[in-house]
Amino acid sequence: MEAFEPKQRQGPEAKSLYRNAGTRGFAAKWAVVNLSWKVATMAQALVSDELWELVEPLIPKVVRRYRYPGRKRIEDRRVLTGIVFVLKTGIGWQHLPQELGCGSGMTCWRRLHEWQQAGVWQQLHELLLERLDQAERIDWSRAVVDSAHLPAVLGGSRPGRVRSIGAKAAASTS
């Protein structure tokens, strides 16, 4: 995988960005570039090759239309990096830095929803549990089963009929 490179501004927009910085122009420019480098480096470390090998087969392949194909989709690995970045840092989707190269926050959110509908996260959860169990890294004696996720095998007893309290008129207090 190629490294995520922070996007550098070039041309007139780069000059207008730092035009009024005065003597602090170099420091301000260095800070912006340095920050984008740190963000890109952090994002690169979020989705390792080992994790991507597990996730990639679970993601459904989308075939581009031949006629009116529209804008080309951003690579799934970059979008996954954006999703993990937002979930790990706790920032809002709309605040996802463009310097990461993961697309917009809305793109990442849509893909998260699309993959949820396709069952990718449930399959990944089951795969990771299976791998951890094989490596004997899970202590099942401390596991808790939530009854909301399991159906009752024999069903419960039916409760008795609830008596109506509205049939009788209330006693007069006057």
pLDDT at residue 8 in the model:
52
> What's the pLDDT tens digit per position in 40-84?
555 567 899 999 999 999 999 999 888 888 889 999 999 999 999
pTM for this entry: 0.60
Q: Please indicate, yes or no, if residue 1 is contained in any of the structural domains.
A: no
Q: How far apart are CA 135 and CA 82, in angstroms?
A: 29
Q: Please indicate, yes or no, if residue 167 is contained in any of the structural domains.
A: no
Q: Please indicate, yes or no, if residue 155 is contained in any of the structural domains.
A: no
Number of domains in the chain: 1
Strands (E), 20-146: none
Strands (E), 10-137: none
Mean pLDDT of 147-153: 67
Question: Which band of pLDDT confidence, cut at 50, 70 and 90, is reported for residue 34?
Answer: very low
Q: Please indicate, yes or no, if residue 84 is contained in any of the structural domains.
A: yes
Q: Please indicate, yes or no, if residue 24 is contained in any of the structural domains.
A: yes
Residue 120 CA, distance from chain mean position: 12
Q: Please indicate, yes or no, if residue 130 is contained in any of the structural domains.
A: yes
> What's the pLDDT tens digit per position in 82-132?
999 999 999 999 999 988 889 999 999 999 999 999 999 999 999 999 999
| Domain carrying residue 74 | 12-139
Q: Please indicate, yes or no, if residue 127 is contained in any of the structural domains.
A: yes
Mean pLDDT of 14-34: 44
Q: Please indicate, yes or no, if residue 172 is contained in any of the structural domains.
A: no
